[in-house]
Amino acid sequence: MSKLDILRRAKEVLKIEARGIDALGARLDDSFLRAVELLYECRGKVVITGMGKSGIISRKIAATLASTGTPSFFLHAGEGIHGDLGMVMRGDVIVAVSNSGETEEILKLLPHIKFNGLKLIVMTGKLDSTLAKAGDVVLDVGVREEACPLGLAPTASTTAALAMGDALAVVLLEKKEFREQDFALRHPGGILGRKLILKVKDLMKMGDEIPLVREETSMKEALFEITSKRLGVTGVVDGEGRLVGVITDGDLRRGLEKKGDIFDLKAAELMTRGPKAIAAEMLAAEAVAVMEQFPITSLFIVDQQSKKPIGVIHLHDIIKAGVV
């Protein structure tokens, strides 16, 4: 095949699969509405089952449902008839995916499904199949042609089934008023999860790690505190331990430019008063926004009642945690 032939064939494949998905929209009817209601009202779990390529699609549909607020898992139909049906309980809803509707392993699950009174949603391309006739709801995911020129490898049909699963998941997501925060709780390892879950208190340095000096502390000691804690800053507290100022690398440079020898000065004489401080319950992502606004790289965390510092957070800590 020439380069032009390769590109031409690839475009044909995409067009065939796009047509298969597009045709689904015209066929959406009351069956889809009933499927949504069954899944929405499910008080157990949604069990997606399939075999072969349909099994792979079923696994993805189950994962999408689970991550968007609908408890779900994938049941391998072949393993199901050899003991894994023990995972299925009364109150669950079964979604069976089979393009032919005659997949032997899935058909062998039907007696168990019916005996336990489980609702069955069928996604198939053959509405007159054995599986379709057994379903409480049947979703037509048939396609006119496969992209495979031999008509053997499931291509457009599996794409259509996947798209129908996504349609169900997204509608359920909105019907359940699933929020960004809910998604984050199910994805603590992802960037969104870290942004919406990690709080300042989870990342801040505490105790002896906090660089702090008193107002009357000499600048020589203050400089040692800044360098030893390696944050480029120290907080300054008054006699009652309340945060009243900060001294940064920038304050040191400006002090040297204006006053020359700064080592005989007290911390209060060089500090920046009214420092920006945040609460421990603030999201780490919000702390980044404060740093960008002012611009600074460290923030002290203070007790909201006593105004005493209880922690400090540096931009590097937030970056290391993967929040930004």
Check which CATH number belongs to the domain holding 238 and give it: 3.10.580.10
Give the chain's domain count: 2
Instruction: Transcribe 34-61 into DSSP letters.
Output: HHHHHHHH-SS-EEEEE-HHHHHHHHHH
pLDDT band at 82 (very low <50, low <70, confident <90, very high): confident
Q: Please state, in angstroms and as integers, the Cα–Cα distance from residue 197 to each residue in 150, 184, 188, 255, following that order.
A: 49, 7, 7, 40
Q: Which has the minimum average pLDDT: 3-7, 99-103, 284-288? A: 284-288
Residues 154 and 251 in one domain: no
The pLDDT of residue 191 is 54
Q: Kindly give, in sequence order, each residue whose CB lies less than 8 Å from that of residue 185, ignoring residues fewer than 6 positions away.
A: 193, 197
Closest CA to 44 of 84, 75, 13, 90: 90
Q: Kindly give, in sequence order, each residue whose CB lies less than 8 Å from that of residue 284, ignoring residues fewer than 6 positions away.
A: 194, 195, 198, 199, 200, 202, 203, 313, 318, 321, 323
Which has the higher per-residue pLDDT, 221 or 83? 221
Residue 170 structure tokens: 């997204």
Mean pLDDT, residues 38-53 taken together: 94
61 near 54, Cβ under 8 Å?
no
Residues 118 and 205 in one domain: no
* Position 68 pLDDT exceeds 80: yes
Look at residue 41 and tell me if it is in a domain.
yes
The pLDDT of residue 285 is 83
pLDDT band at 81 (very low <50, low <70, confident <90, very high): confident
| Portion of the chain with pLDDT greater than 90, in percent | 64
Instruction: Transcribe 227-260 into DSSP letters.
Output: HHHTSSEEEEE-TTS-EEEEEEHHHHHHHHHHHS
* Position 63 pLDDT exceeds 60: yes
* Position 193 pLDDT exceeds 70: no
Mean pLDDT, residues 31-59 taken together: 95
Which has the higher per-residue pLDDT, 152 or 40? 40
The pLDDT of residue 1 is 84
Residues 77 and 118 in one domain: yes
Residues 33 and 163 in one domain: yes
The pLDDT of residue 192 is 54
Look at residue 184 and tell me if it is in a domain.
no
pLDDT band at 195 (very low <50, low <70, confident <90, very high): low
| CA–CA gap between residue 297 and residue 190 (Å, rounded) | 24
Look at residue 141 and tell me if it is in a domain.
yes
The pLDDT of residue 168 is 97
* Position 207 pLDDT exceeds 90: yes
Look at residue 188 and tell me if it is in a domain.
no
Look at residue 302 and tell me if it is in a domain.
yes
Look at residue 306 and tell me if it is in a domain.
yes
- Average model confidence (pLDDT) for the chain? 89
Residues 249-302: pLDDT tens digits?
888 888 888 877 788 899 999 999 989 899 999 888 888 888 888 888 899 999
* Position 161 pLDDT exceeds 90: yes
pLDDT band at 183 (very low <50, low <70, confident <90, very high): low
The pLDDT of residue 186 is 56
Q: Of 178, 213, 231, which marks where a domain is finished?
A: 178
Residues 24 and 64 in one domain: yes
Number of CB atoms found within 10 A of residue 323's CB:
20
Range of the domain at 131: 3-178
Which has the higher per-residue pLDDT, 85 or 93? 93
Instruction: Work out whether strand 272-273 and strand 277-278 pair parallel, antiparallel, or are unpaired.
Output: unpaired
The pLDDT of residue 152 is 67
Which backbone phi and psi does 70 adopt, to 5 degrees? -115, 105
Residues 19 and 72 in one domain: yes
pLDDT band at 199 (very low <50, low <70, confident <90, very high): confident
* Position 185 pLDDT exceeds 60: no
Q: Of 178, 208, 226, which marks where a domain is finished?
A: 178
Mean pLDDT, residues 43-59 taken together: 95
Residues 171 and 205 in one domain: no
Mean pLDDT, residues 139-167 taken together: 91
* Position 197 pLDDT exceeds 90: no
* Position 194 pLDDT exceeds 80: no
Residues 8 and 149 in one domain: yes
Instruction: Work out whether strand 277-278 and strand 298-302 pair parallel, antiparallel, or are unpaired.
Output: parallel
Which has the higher per-residue pLDDT, 251 or 11? 11
The pLDDT of residue 23 is 95
Q: Has this prediction a pTM greater than 0.75? A: no
24: amino acid identity, one letter: L
CATH number for the domain harbouring residue 87? 3.40.50.10490
**For 53, what's the count of Cα atoms within 13 Å in the CB-facing half-sphere?**
13
DSSP letter (8 states) at residue 304: T
Residues 106 and 138 in one domain: yes
Residues 173 and 236 in one domain: no
Look at residue 228 and tell me if it is in a domain.
yes
